[in-house]
Amino acid sequence: MTQHPLRVTNLRFEHFHQETALGTGRPRISWMTETTQPGWMQQAYEIQAFDGKGQPFGATGRVDSDQSVLVAWPFASLSSREQASVRVRVWGADGQASAWSEPATAESALLQPGDWSARFITPAWDEDLTRPQPAPLLRHEFYLNQPVRQARLYITALGVYEALINGQGIGDQVLAPGWTSYPYRLGYQTYDVAGMLHAGQNVIGTMLGDGWFRGRLGYGGGRRNIYGDRLALLAQLEITFADGSTARIVSDESWRAATGPIQGSDIYDGETYDARLERAGWDQPAYDDSSWAGVRPLERSLDTLFASYTPPVRRIEVWPAARIIHSPSGKTILDFGQNVVGWLRLRVQGPAGQTITLRHAEVLEHGEVCVRTLRYAKAIDQYTLKGGGVETWEPRFTFHGFRYAEVTGWPGEINPGDVQAVICHSDMERTGWFDCSDALVNRLHENVVWSMRGNFFYIPTDCPQRDERLGWTGDIQVFSPTASFLYNSAGFLSSWLEDLAAEQAASGSVPFYAPIVSPRPEPTPPSAAWGDATVIVPWVLFQRFGDKGILERQFESMRAWVEQIHSLTGPSLLWDKGTQFGDWLDPAAPPDRPGAARTPNYVLCTAYFAHSTELVSRAAGLLGRAAEEEQYRALAAAIRAAFHHNYVTPAGRILGDSATAYSLALQFALLPGEDQRRAAGQRLAELLRANRYRISSGFVGTVLVCDALCNAGHPEAAFRLLMQTENPSWLYPVTMGATTIWERWDSMLPDGTVNPGEMTSFNHYALGAVADWLHRSVAGLAPAAPGYRQIEIRPMPGGGLTHARAKLNTPYGMAESSWKIAGGQFHLDVTLPPNTTGTVLLPEQENEQPIAIGAGKHHWSVPYAAEVQKRIELSMNTTLDELQDDPQAYAAVIKLFRVLNDELTDRMEGQLWMSLHEAARLHPDPVAVGARLEEVLAELRKK
């Protein structure tokens, strides 16, 4: 028997590769397997663990199991600070065993409040709490009498912090500890700092900023000091020396404090820095801090502390300016070529006292930076030079969403390399990719990626630039499937869900956004599709990452939400009360009334009530809660019946008669009969055709519409919706030069002016949720079991595409579906990772049994002419429907189609499709229709 290489790789704990600061003593273990053996499946595994001294900690022996993702910790719980080095080996069905994996070390953090001897400290001076204050510097010197073997710094702040030891920055995280629901959860970080300490005199220094804790947050000018009015530091440095003895350095009243060069910092407004006020050497030993002020303790419960497990925000990329623009008013503007999130880094030389001002904006209007869309956010950074040579500076305690920066006060001539964009976001692992044969669709997908990058900044924000930047529930509810494909967002979203549950009212009401920044006395009124995030996002994470633990943690929050809505509806089970966001930003809504959608709120609300109740039932079943499973299954069935009885006609028409209403009914299984489902799908296609395949839904319906069309047998309509470039559409912003997803379909109008609505962001990921359909349906890579243990490959060509590919690093390894059309053949290449199985359904095999496949690489080539013919006929028929009122145009299309039909090749489908679409747009001018089709025919004959 051939022996294939077999190797265990990527050993990890929970959802990240972090080896220190685990917030649990029982971390779950995952691994991947690499082998060239086709169809390989794991039959057994063995896990061994060793303690920090290399002594055996535990061993499972051989365990007959195919599980390799989030395997329960099989040993005694780790105590605080305890280490265990873990290794794994596996067996396949042929009995072959792998070698032991490389070890991975799990180290628990401080798991109990009693593990802390440090206390929060704050500078011992009074402050003006009505405006941003100078950022305090805190320092503490200490002496070590021997070399250090191990050292851990556990640290957090009320505010944001940057920490140094002996002048060297600690870690690469920025704006730590990030943003959580501070009254309930405050994360702390753990750093390995052994290499930064030495025998003799040492110093630890920190700089504090207002951040989210006491900076200005919220609309209309917002409020300051929402979570507290004093910045504070909590730090505990635990040292083990070469001889095994220990020492502990903690934040206490022996520390010293002073102000530094940051004169003010604010998330919305920016940072003001005066380099003349720098305190040279303050972060080095032997600095004279005798003139500094003292600190005082600040009372704060340690019960809210937890070891942060959301990926930290880091500096990810640095870009130079793409070009320098001189505006009509004479301003100097830098264009970085991409709408990004982060800040600017300067390299400048000039006289002391010279102040450089940087004003950030996403777009230009009339050749000048457009700051109206920022509302009350100033987004201005200022740097005052100290003089004497080249100076390099970047802000620490703010961030901006921008493509353009207006620069004033620059000494001399500015060059593109003098100012760089520092791009920041939560440093999640990229896991998913997509590309196809259409350049506009590829750019659309890139825009989705960039908007996710810019808005996954400790929490999933709606936008990164204006006076908002909040963790809106509705946005992430629709976007979570896309997010879970593009990046490993399990840890990130799990942490945010804990904030959401913590902020949930006792009544079950879920806030519009989390963390909450508004006054807290009254619970948020329930809003459909927004509050449902507490049910849908955990379900998505379970489906995409296979983590049942998320359902366990969130189940009470999920259940409480459904129970609250049930109490509101009463026996009618119709959610027809309360103020709602509804199908937000329906293109038919006026700019100043974004909630004025075509879909009645009561239809949308009751649909979501049914859907969330069904998901709670399924979650209960997975968790072994049989009584609740049955309770909520019966309730979901009753809600569906009420929806059907009150909102659906016997012919399948739904109240509101809107694209969103039909999409909800089809995707949430609200129509009991096949005839009604068929009629609803047909009506949905009719509505889109009547609207010339432009978007006619807000972001609640838009995420569902393509799937609803495909599942109802109208994929060609979904593709026409995708490929549309007229406003409103996904591709209209691309044709207008967008590099991120916009909040409104027409955030920028065709004439280049900005939408007059007050709410106009150019970086909002919600409408980019269509990317999930591109991954699952167009490329055909979808989970068939939680965590992609089973994978469905069902590619769906259309829209003139000749190629599409999706690639995903699943919890088991890399999976890929790639197809192309060439030479009258449909070619499909599939890769499944070891320890997974899948099914394949080729485009012309809808009525056949799927092909079962195992791990490895697979290829198919099948004739595609019949499928091309079918889609061309569908395209033609759709076009003829649009031209039916003009007999001459109708006849012209029929005549030329018959000629074209005889000359089709596999490369011509898209060209013909587009020509027919153009013919429809040119209607009712039959001469123009005929002329255009004659031109296309001539082009096709040449090719």
Which token pair is 65? Answer: 């199991």
Per-residue H/E/C for 177-210: CCCCCCCCCEEEEEEECHHHCCCEEEEEEEEEEC
Per-residue H/E/C for 257-313: EEECCEEEEECCCEEEEEHHHCCCCCCCCCCCCCCCECEEECCCCHHHEEECCCCCE
934 vs 522, 549, 756, 916, CA distance in Å? 67, 62, 42, 11
918 vs 51, 639, 750, 921, 932, CA distance in Å? 70, 44, 19, 5, 8
d(CA 140, CA 248): 13
Task: Tell me which DSSP letter residue 577 carries.
Answer: -
Nearest CA among 108, 147, 153, 107 for reference residue 248: 153
Catalytic residue among 238, 743, 816, 882: 743
Do residues 402 and 362 make contact, with C-beta atoms less than 8 angstroms apart? yes
Is 468 considered catalytic here?
yes
Do residues 769 and 396 make contact, with C-beta atoms less than 8 angstroms apart? no
Q: Checking phi first, is residue 348 left (phi over 0); if not, alpha (psi -120 to 50) or beta?
A: beta
User: Which residues touch 567 (CB under 8 Å, ≥6 apart)?
Assistant: none
d(CA 102, CA 731): 47
Which token pair is 84? Answer: 């265990």
Is 743 considered catalytic here?
yes
Nearest CA among 120, 100, 17 for reference residue 59: 100
Q: What is the largest CA-CA distance in the chain?
A: 97
Q: Please give the single-letter amino acid code of residue 805.
A: R
Do residues 912 and 900 make contact, with C-beta atoms less than 8 angstroms apart? yes
Which token pair is 148? Answer: 């250090």
HSE-up of 159 (CA within 13 Å, CB side)? 31
Which token pair is 707? Answer: 């799937």
Q: Could you write out the DSSP letters of every residue in 345-381?
A: EEEE---TT-EEEEEEES-EETTEE--GGGTT---EE
What's the first-to-final CA gap in the chain, in angstroms?
Answer: 52
What stretches of 430-572 adopt beta strand conformation (E)?
432-436, 456-457, 459-460
Catalytic residue among 406, 468, 629, 816: 468
For the chain, give me the number of helices (H) and strands (E)?
18, 40
Task: Tell me which DSSP letter residue 112 carries.
Answer: S
Do residues 87 and 11 make contact, with C-beta atoms less than 8 angstroms apart? yes
517 vs 176, 497, 501, 580, 743, CA distance in Å? 19, 16, 15, 20, 22
Do residues 479 and 299 make contact, with C-beta atoms less than 8 angstroms apart? no
Q: Could you write out the DSSP letters of every residue in 93-108?
A: TT-PBPPPPPPEEEEB
Q: To 5 degrees, how large is the angle CA 604–CA 610–CA 616?
A: 130
At residue 315, the 3 state secondary structure works out as strand
Q: Checking phi first, is residue 34 left (phi over 0); if not, alpha (psi -120 to 50) or beta?
A: beta
Do residues 123 and 136 make contact, with C-beta atoms less than 8 angstroms apart? yes
Nearest CA among 464, 472, 463 for reference residue 518: 472
Catalytic residues: 468, 743
